[in-house]
Amino acid sequence: MSGAKQIIIHVGLHKTGTTFLQDRVFPALPGVRFVHPLHYAQPSDGPIERLLLDLMFRNAACIDVARHRQRIDAWLAQVREPTVLISSEAIVGWPIENHSNLAVNAEYLARVFPTAKIWLVVRRQDRWVESAYAQLLKAGFSTSIERYLNYRDGRFDRYNVGLYNGPNVDARDLDWDAFDRHYRERWGHDAVLTLPFELFSQASAEFLGRFYAFAEIDPAQRVFPDTSERVNERWSPLAAGVAKLVNKVPMPVKRAIRDRLGREWHPSAVLARALPSSLLPSALGGRTRALSPALGAALLELHRDGNRALGRRIGLDLDAHGY
């Protein structure tokens, strides 16, 4: 039954404008049923949301895919819109777990939606790392960016399994070329659209236009919102530096305070509201970014060949965006 409707799955990455798209673009598209699975159950959840919750949090071997597909097909049969758009950055995997569930998620979604179209948005690795690291600080963790990248003695080391090592990634696995190839192997070359986040930042109309053409959205129904207003803006270097110190408080204490006062009363959140990032100087040592230039260059060099291969496959010059 899923083949009777056009299914678009926006898989992420995290930190590539997903919140803006989910808030300002997808819900406004006529003729599109937007499904936005969250990381927690809601009374309004339908069968697609319940499938995604299982993929996010259950052992995949214990998921009854056939039953999920039966329920989803029954739901699709009563959906009036010709296109169903599913968007969850968790589909590409959890960043703090090295995106290790990407392949399992793709396998199971391909079983349920074999004719779907996949939309992947990537971001230059150094800028992606900075943004993902800042999000960790917002979430209450305290670690250095070098430890997050497992960078020691001038080289990138493997992913350390388990959060007792702190959230971390294997920098070698921030290989968007491999992500893109994996989705094309599952759904077919023409069923995947991969775009760089930088295109959205620099030419949002072109970025959205490419997506709309791929999703076969009627030109008269396309939405081009004002992108000057930032959604989910990251903290300044100074606010992030404060978070690194504050977040050293044991997690049970932090959670108790957060549950009582709310996230908005985190010292860094208060600082960010009081002084916008554009007005704040850098935190330590005059650095304006969390990632040092040398470490950023090493990360990009690690992925130079893969980024160029990806650019050739998707028909875009990623070198022009600094990849």
> What domains, with CATH codes, occur in the chain?
2-125+173-231+303-321 (3.40.50.300), 145-166+233-298 (no CATH)
What are the structure tokens assigned to 27, written together?
């819900």
Q: In this structure, are residues 115 and 1 in contact, taking their beta carbons and an 8 Å threshold?
A: no
What are the structure tokens assigned to 99, written together?
């995106």
Task: Provide the 8-state DSSP code for 161.
Answer: -
Report d(CA 214, CA 17) in Å as an integer. Answer: 18
Rounded to whole angstroms, what are the CA distances from 239 to 256, 266, 278? 21, 10, 12
Q: What is the mean pLDDT of each run of 10 residues along the chain (323 residues)?
A: 82 96 96 96 97 96 97 97 97 93 98 98 97 85 89 93 80 98 98 98 97 96 85 55 52 54 51 50 50 95 98 97 96
What is residue 225's three-state secondary structure? coil
pLDDT at 140: 75
* The model's pTM: 0.84
Which of 129, 104, 113 minimizes the C-alpha distance to 1?
Answer: 113
pLDDT at 163: 58
What are the structure tokens assigned to 223, written together?
């939405």
